[in-house]
Amino acid sequence: MGSDSDIHFLNVSYFFRLLYELFTGGRVGGTGDAWGDFVAFAGALWVVVTILCFFISLAALAVLIHSTIRMLETKRQEAPKYATQHPAVVETKRDHNRWAHVMELIESPHENDWRQAILEADIMLDDLLTQLGYLGTSVGEKLKAVDPSHFKTIRDAWDAHMVRNSIAHEGSAYQLNDHLAYRTIHKYEAVMREHGEI
């Protein structure tokens, strides 16, 4: 089996021989001290197990770090894809100064300013529909593409836009009183508030 200086702690038959000598008091070889041989074997085995566990832990830690980094990179890359709104849309929306200008015009005592307020509000509606992803060459075409279940104020948008069309097509021949002007702007306001524009 080799000299006493041979490495025995990885030898299975040596391990069982030590167990046999421990419980029977037999002397099949070794140092003559079964308990001492067993303790030496257990100590050597413990060192090997400790070293193996250390390297396994290092490998597991490396895998964990790598996986975490990859997960964060993937999350960062896919964030724009699953965002509720495209970042470019967020950058270009919510110009509150535009609505403040509309309100200044509608508060004017002049009918021409009311007309201008409605025209400006309709331009804002057009921009909003574009930001929401509705396609078309006019506000009317975009409104036709709207899904009412995602646009609660669609009726208000249509009503306000019809007044705008009358102003644009009939010009000064279209009679616009203060009541109709305020009501129309209120409808535009409802649409803008639903979608967080004001």
| H helix runs in 83-146, sequence order | 87-92, 96-106, 111-131, 139-144
- The first and second tokens of residue 137, run together, are 């060459």
Same domain, 186 and 103: yes
- The first and second tokens of residue 184, run together, are 């129309």
Same domain, 174 and 120: yes
- pLDDT tens for the chain, 198 residues: list them: 445 555 555 566 766 666 666 655 555 444 556 566 667 777 777 878 888 889 999 999 999 999 999 999 888 887 766 666 555 555 455 556 899 999 999 999 999 999 999 999 999 999 999 999 999 999 999 999 998 988 999 999 999 999 999 999 998 889 899 999 999 999 999 999 999 888
Domain-terminating residue out of 26, 48, 82: 82
Same domain, 110 and 149: yes
pLDDT value of residue 128: 93
Total structural domains within the chain:
2
Angstrom distances, CA of residue 197 to CA of 89, 132, 134, 192: 12, 12, 16, 5
Same domain, 110 and 132: yes
Give me the domain span that covers residue 65: 12-82
CATH at residue 137:
1.20.120
> Within a domain: residue 138?
yes
Same domain, 49 and 114: no
Any idea what the Cα angle at residue 68 is, between residues 65 and 70, rounded to 5°?
Answer: 110
> Within a domain: residue 117?
yes
Same domain, 156 and 70: no
Angstrom distances, CA of residue 146 to CA of 110, 130, 187: 34, 11, 17
45-81 as b/e, with b when 16 or more CB fall inside 10 Å?
Answer: eeeeeeeeeeeeeeeeeeeeeeeeeeeeeeeeeeeee
> Within a domain: residue 161?
yes
> Within a domain: residue 29?
yes
> Within a domain: residue 1?
no
Same domain, 101 and 55: no
Q: Please, what is the end-to-end C-alpha distance for the chain in angstroms?
A: 90
